[in-house]
Amino acid sequence: MSMTSMATTALARANRAAVDKATAALAAVSAKEFSSSAMPAEVVLDAAVSDANKLEKKHFEIPEPLMMGPGPSNPYPRANDAMSKALLGHMHAPMFPLMDEIQTGLKYVLQTENEATFGLSASGGAAMDAAVSNLLEPGEKAVVSVSGIWGERFTEKCLRHGAEVVQIRKEAGLTPSFEDIEKVLEEEKPAVLFLCHGESSSGTKQKLDGIGELCHKHGTLLVVDTVCTLVGEPFFTDAWNIDLVYSGAQKCIGCPPGLSPMTYSARAMEKVMSRKSKPDIFSFDVTEVGRQWGFNGDKRPYHHTPPINIMFAMREALQIVSEEGLENSWNRHLNAHYQLWEGLDKLGLKPFVKNPEDRLATVNCIEIPEGLDAGKLIANAFDKFNLEISGGLGGTAGKVFRIGLMGYNCTPRNVESVVTAFEDGLKQQKFL
């Protein structure tokens, strides 16, 4: 058992002991006050209980690999430990200062002063649904940049929502230029432009500087996906005039998945407030969620039960990022990226993204050499080194390996392990 899981288990035991003690004290009082001579009752059953799917009593061993794929990444141990605290009621007074702290930390990592900044209780992909549901009314038009799976997904979500879509399509490994985007915005004047800051299926980084101003000139709101980039690549919500940003917890932030950072600009909130119809997904309606987070009115009524333990972890992860500082974090990711490519280059491996300026530091795509059995190399890395690397996704499936350098895992030592695993896999298949 690792030091982290031993510490986590010890903490969990201490918490359980505290809860058990309180329960025993209460039971002693109620036994005195409410003792009854009635026979224990039994429920009356209308049908026989099937044991077909009853779990066997056995220990289920969960492996603990070093996760160097495109995410999730191993969380910071301190964030993991924070999850094992006893639960707090989400509507109880101590929870609100904790949510306020998360909000402050998210404003830091998103580099924004937007009031409507919070963690959506859902996956990164669900935050994409929330963006579509809140910013687009049926019949409105979105321009969507597509050079991988995330642009395809945004398109699919817009169409299901009844919005019209015009795509800017680029091959995997390329991104649209400022001029490409300018031309489409002038022609289409869409309600929303979607760009993916880090296209994790192909390893490209979208340049964003100046696009916000361009959008606003045409009455368009700019939506940006930062699921695999936030905290790992320089990003400025306010300075780049972005209207809606969503991200994920489980990548460069170093928190387990389940609470997705989101921020809406004042312009985006104006649009939401002036809609003809309400956003169609109640659970993701930013005006409803915002009441519980305390930025839409001063009361904090119940909206839903959030993943409370993930919130503990998120606060801790944001604390760690704040201690390191964003500039240091961005430099750490960039240096790991250079170190990785220096190592891979010596092994004769080639980057999938040809223009170095367009390469993500956080998700690195490596061309699979002709004749190499990629699955065998991935399996060897896992079996021999307990190291997780991934293949491609969508259009890059069968074409690339993907290496994530994200958050807690982004260290020189882990990069060395990845290079060693590649070297070993290539030697095994006589490529070296």
Ligand X SMILES: Cc1ncc(COP(=O)(O)O)c(C=O)c1O
Binding residues: 402
147 is a site residue for ligand X (CB under 6 A)? no
Q: Binding residue for ligand X (CB under 6 A) from 67, 110, 191, 228?
A: 228
We find the least distance from the C-beta atom of residue 257 to ligand X, in angstroms, to be: 6
204 neighbors 355 (Cβ within 8 angstroms): no
Query: Does an H or E element contain 245, and which?
Result: strand 244-246
Instruction: Tell me the DSSP string of 52-107.
Output: TTPPPS---PPP--EE-SSS--PPPHHHHHHTTSPP--TTSTTHHHHHHHHHHHHH
Site for ligand X in 251-310 (CB under 6 A): 257
Q: Which is nearer to ligand X, 136 or 228 (CB)?
A: 228
248 is a site residue for ligand X (CB under 6 A)? yes
Q: Which residues are annotated as a binding site for substrate?
A: 402
- Mapped onto helix, strand or coil, the DSSP state of residue 205 is strand
We find the least distance from the C-beta atom of residue 349 to ligand X, in angstroms, to be: 22
Q: Which is nearer to ligand X, 66 or 419 (CB)?
A: 66
CB contact set of 272 (below 8 Å; sequence gap of 6+): 134, 135, 264, 279, 286, 287
349 is a site residue for ligand X (CB under 6 A)? no
Window contacting ligand X (CB under 6 A); options: 1-9, 80-88, 118-126, 154-162: 118-126
In angstroms, the CA 207 to CA 230 distance is: 14
Q: Which pair of structure tokens corresponds to residue 277?
A: 């119809």
**Nearest C-alpha neighbor of 233 from the set 347, 352, 403, 111:** 111
Q: Which is nearer to ligand X, 172 or 419 (CB)?
A: 172
Q: Binding residue for ligand X (CB under 6 A) from 77, 124, 212, 407?
A: 124
Query: Does an H or E element contain 423, and which?
Result: helix 412-428
We find the least distance from the C-beta atom of residue 260 to ligand X, in angstroms, to be: 7
Site for ligand X in 154-193 (CB under 6 A): none
200 is a site residue for ligand X (CB under 6 A)? yes
123 is a site residue for ligand X (CB under 6 A)? yes
**Nearest C-alpha neighbor of 105 from the set 311, 268, 265, 291:** 311
Residues counted in the chain? 432
Window contacting ligand X (CB under 6 A); options: 76-84, 96-104, 196-204, 343-351: 196-204
In angstroms, the CA 225 to CA 230 distance is: 9
- Classify burial at 50, counting beta carbons within 10 Å of its beta carbon; exposed 0-12, middle 13-18, buried 19 or more: exposed
We find the least distance from the C-beta atom of residue 249 to ligand X, in angstroms, to be: 8
DSSP 39: P
We find the least distance from the C-beta atom of residue 192 to ligand X, in angstroms, to be: 16
In angstroms, the CA 83 to CA 101 distance is: 16
Window contacting ligand X (CB under 6 A); options: 175-183, 194-202, 327-335, 364-372: 194-202
Window contacting ligand X (CB under 6 A); options: 79-87, 120-128, 161-169, 292-300: 120-128
We find the least distance from the C-beta atom of residue 2 to ligand X, in angstroms, to be: 25
Site for ligand X in 360-399 (CB under 6 A): none
- Count the residues of the shown chain that bind ligand X, applying the rule CB under 6 A: 14
Q: Which is nearer to ligand X, 111 or 226 (CB)?
A: 226
We find the least distance from the C-beta atom of residue 306 to ligand X, in angstroms, to be: 16
Q: Which is nearer to ligand X, 211 or 426 (CB)?
A: 211
Q: Which pair of structure tokens corresponds to residue 84?
A: 């094992």
Query: Does an H or E element contain 116, and which?
Result: strand 116-121
4 is a site residue for ligand X (CB under 6 A)? no
225 is a site residue for ligand X (CB under 6 A)? yes
Q: Which is nearer to ligand X, 228 or 262 (CB)?
A: 228
198 is a site residue for ligand X (CB under 6 A)? yes
CB atoms within 10 A of CB 40: 5
- Classify burial at 59, counting beta carbons within 10 Å of its beta carbon; exposed 0-12, middle 13-18, buried 19 or more: exposed
In angstroms, the CA 187 to CA 427 distance is: 53
Q: Binding residue for ligand X (CB under 6 A) from 120, 146, 222, 227?
A: 227
Q: Which is nearer to ligand X, 284 or 295 (CB)?
A: 284
185 neighbors 213 (Cβ within 8 angstroms): no
150 is a site residue for ligand X (CB under 6 A)? yes
Q: Which pair of structure tokens corresponds to residue 323?
A: 């201690």
Kindly give the interhelix angle for 326-346 and 308-324, rounded to the nearest 10 degrees: 80
Name the site residues for ligand X (rule: CB under 6 A): 70-71, 123-125, 150, 196, 198, 200, 225, 227-228, 248, 257
